[in-house]
Amino acid sequence: FRTLIADIMEQRRREETRRNDFLQLMADLERTEGEKFDMEMITSHAVSFFIDGYETSSTSLSFVGFNLASHPEVQEKLREEVVSVLNKYDGVITYDALKEMTYMDQVFNESQRLLPAVGFLDKFCTEETDLRGSDGLVCHVPRGMHILIPIMGLQRDSRYWEDPEVFDPERFSNERKHSIEKYAYLPFGEGPRMCVGQRMAQLQIKACLAALLRKYRLELSPKTRVPLKLTGSTFINAAEGGLWAIIRPI
């Protein structure tokens, strides 16, 4: 990946042809400031865009598809919303149309709660501190310590969620979402270092679901191993044997 990025950057520095992407922005900024950026920095950002903008979004979309195929009543309710909203926009999937699909937000959020794209957050302590829990427990964290926050564990903890193993989009309805314990739902992290691509990921997934559900029905394939068992071998969650669906025209 380092070699690929380095080769592309050298090409962008030489050529006058412009591209609409991150590496072009870096090449343009180099010309403006008159000095080259560190390739490790550029490569790390490119990797971040690739993983955050593709892998996690595709994983999240796969899990949403699995949950919709497993719960046809939820899928049908969501389809009704998609068709109803798109009819107001002459069948065109627009930003405003996607914003109106509030039940889709509930479905997406609940899928992220039950099956987040990543199972934990990895944080690095830059300043010595004491973490105080609601139960009074104090944990001393020295500077330089790595902290793993178990997203999936928190989001399936019965102390914070009623029937945590049940897929229920109504948890995130306007009437109930305010009762969700703060920091018990962290699919994108929280605070100043939360995922910068959250809104982009949501729009990508909502647009894909709208295009799919208006014309097709998702059914669970026998090839999918149920109940799901996650591999646990990678940072990004994945189901053993993969996620398979039958897509039928309506």
What is the mean pLDDT for each group of 10 consecutive residues in the chain (250 residues)? 86 83 87 85 80 81 98 98 98 97 98 94 92 88 94 95 97 96 91 79 94 98 95 83 96
Shared domain for 123 and 238, answered yes or no, is: no
Same domain for 139 and 184, yes or no, is no
Q: Which residue has the tokens 């330089």?
A: 144
Residue 220 shares a structural domain with residue 127: no
Residues 112 and 179 in one domain: yes
Rg of the Cα atoms in the chain: 21
Identify whether residues 59 and 92 lie together within a single domain.
Answer: yes
In this structure, is residue 31 part of a structural domain? no
> What single-letter DSSP state applies at residue 230?
B
For 118-136, write each residue's pLDDT tens digit: 989 988 999 999 988 878 8
Asked whether residue 33 is assigned to any structural domain, the reply reads no
Residue 141 main-chain phi, psi, to 5 deg: -120, 110
Please report, in range form, the residues annotated as the binding site for heme.
195
Decide if 192 is inside a domain: yes
* Same domain assignment for residues 204 and 82: yes
Is position 6 within any domain?
no
Instruction: Based on the fold, state whether residues 179 and 137 are members of the same structural domain.
Output: no
Range of the domain at 128: 119-149
Q: What is the pLDDT of residues 59-70, one digit of tens each?
A: 999 999 999 999
Amino acid, res. 114 = L
pTM of structure: 0.81
Q: And the tokens for 182? A: 């703060």
> Same structural domain for residues 127 and 105?
no
Q: What CATH number does the domain containing 184 carry?
A: 1.10.630.10
Q: Report percent pLDDT > 90 for the chain.
A: 63
Which residues are part of a known binding site? 195
Asked if residue 232 belongs to a domain, the reply is: yes
Q: Within a domain: residue 237?
A: yes
Residue 226 in domain: yes
Cα distance between residue 238 and residue 230, in whole Å: 5
Number of structural domains (the chain) is 2
